[in-house]
């Protein structure tokens, strides 16, 4: 496991953006998994800016997100589809058929999980996954306690995030929410993982995930077992591991 620490948040965003671009340039038909949230928006903007200034061929690139919210309309600004589309896909002109996302509403999410994985497998599987980490160590929407061998499924959201979503959508507790997420076993089958984190709020969980025991209590700790994983951090997120690695 390689650990890269960037001096500033800007350096981190730029480095992460170039990891995505490098994969596109290295393999013109690359299958690239992204993540959404506060960590990723700026890196996606930088990718878009670089592409705008120096266009390159992305006609064969496939983009997907590691997860998607369920039982909410896709038009919700917090849906992963909408964020990835607005931040990256439309700016690069990625063909619609190369933007693979599960639906947010379905009467059979088990089927949607299978179809999601099937569509990725038909393109040769994922080459790169930019993988965010939650405050409690979740990856995708695989919360603490999720078995490492669980395949793609619909998981509960973490309570803090769910409260935010309900507040923004005015959806009451009687309406079940969740997240269709690639399972940990599927994430680990990706050819290259880049675990990304920035900001001091991630320092505690990064220390546990990178230097602590490999445990389902901290789902992100499983990346220690991946044969081709980079942990990309800014100095704030790396504060508690600097000097220990």
Q: How many domains does the chain have?
A: 1
Examine residue 240 and state whether it is found in any structural domain, yes or no. Answer: no
Asked if the structure places residue 245 within a domain, the reply is no
Would 177 be classed as within a structural domain? yes
* Domain membership flag for residue 241: no
Q: What is the pLDDT of residue 245?
A: 85
Is the distance from CB of 32 to CB of 63 less than 8 angstroms?
yes
Instruction: Please report whether residue 230 resides in a domain.
Output: yes
Each residue of 119-156: b (16+ CB within 10 Å) or e? Answer: bbeebeebbbbbbbbbebbbbbbbbeebebeeebbbbe
Domain of residue 140, CATH code = 3.40.50.1360
Residue 173: the pLDDT is 87
- What are the CA-CA distances from residue 226 to residues 40, 84, 176 (Å)? 22, 26, 34
With a CB cutoff of 8 Å and minimum separation 6, the contacts of 28 are: 57, 59, 60, 61
**Is 44 part of a structural domain of the chain?**
yes
112-118-120-122 Cα dihedral, nearest 10 degrees? -150
Pairing of strands 178-181, 153-155: antiparallel
CA-CA-CA-CA torsion for 78, 80, 83, 88, nearest 10 degrees? 170
The answer as to whether 239 is a domain residue is no
Residues with Cβ < 8 Å from 79, sequence gap 6 or more? Answer: 68, 69, 72, 73, 104
- Report pLDDT digits (tens) over 107-130: 999 999 999 999 999 999 999 999
Q: Specify if 59 maps to a domain.
A: yes
- Res 221: pLDDT: 98
Euclidean distance between CA atoms 229 and 195, whole angstroms: 7
In the chain, which residues have pLDDT < 50? Answer: none
Tokens coding 122: 């038909």
Domain that holds residue 186: 2-234
219 close to 158: Cβ distance less than 8 angstroms? no
Predicted confidence at residue 219, as pLDDT, reads: 98
Any bridge partners for residue 131, and if so which? 195
């Amino acid at each position: 496991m390689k650990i890269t620490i960037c001096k500033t948040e800007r350096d981190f965003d730029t480095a992460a953006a170039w990891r995505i671009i490098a994969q596109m340039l290295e393999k013109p038909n690359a299958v690239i998994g992204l993540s959404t949230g506060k960590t990723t928006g700026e890196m996606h903007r930088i990718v878009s800016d670089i592409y705008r200034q120096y266009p390159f061929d992305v006609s064969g690139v496939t983009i997907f997100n590691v997860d998607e919210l369920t039982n909410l309309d896709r038009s919700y600004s917090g849906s992963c589809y909408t964020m990835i589309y607005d931040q990256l896909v439309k700016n690069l002109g990625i063909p619609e058929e190369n933007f693979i996302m599960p639906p947010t509403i379905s009467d059979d999410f088990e089927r949607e999980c299978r179809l999601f994985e099937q569509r990725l497998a038909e393109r040769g599987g994922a080459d790169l996954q930019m993988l965010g980490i939650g405050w409690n160590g979740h990856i995708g929407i695989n919360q603490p306690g999720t078995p490492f061998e669980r395949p793609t499924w619909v998981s509960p959201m973490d309570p803090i995030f769910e409260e935010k979503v309900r507040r923004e959508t005015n959806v009451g507790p009687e309406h079940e929410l969740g997240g269709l997420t690639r399972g940990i076993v599927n994430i680990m089958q990706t050819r290259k993982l880049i675990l990304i984190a920035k900001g001091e709020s991630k320092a505690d969980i990064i220390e546990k995930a990178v230097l602590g025991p490999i445990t389902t209590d901290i789902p992100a700790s499983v990346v220690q077992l991946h044969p081709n994983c980079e942990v990309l951090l800014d100095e704030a997120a790396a504060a508690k591991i600097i000097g220990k690695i």
